[in-house]
Amino acid sequence: YRDGKVKGRKTPIGVLPLVEELDFTGLEIDAADLDKLLRVDVERWLQETDHRAEHLRELPDMPREIWDAHEALVEALRAEAATDAGGADS
């Protein structure tokens, strides 16, 4: 994305960098920790969207666009969860 030099990985929550696109100079990060940092915990995000929906319902004048964005996120997360359940490793 940055000047076309990196591509990242599209996820339901946005684009995450690929490991090879990151500069770890001076850092000691083991592979397991790095995997955790770059993984999208879909179930946890779905739980969070439930909490966010509760909060949004408390705001009666919330613009429809906010709800649309929220619902699009939930749909994307559910699609990812279905893909993961189909045999992909998360």
- In the chain, the amino acid numbered 5 is K
Question: Do residue 88 and residue 58 come from a single domain?
Answer: yes
**pLDDT at 90 (0 to 100):** 42
Looking at the chain, the whole-number percentage of residues with pLDDT higher than 70 is 92
Domain range spanning residue 5? 1-39
- Strands 9-11, 14-16: pairing is antiparallel
Looking at the chain, the whole-number percentage of residues with pLDDT higher than 90 is 77
Question: Do residue 47 and residue 35 come from a single domain?
Answer: no
Residue corresponding to tokens 């359940």? 85
What are 8's strand-pairing partners?
A: none
CB 53 within 8 A of CB 70: yes
Average pLDDT on 39-52 reads 97
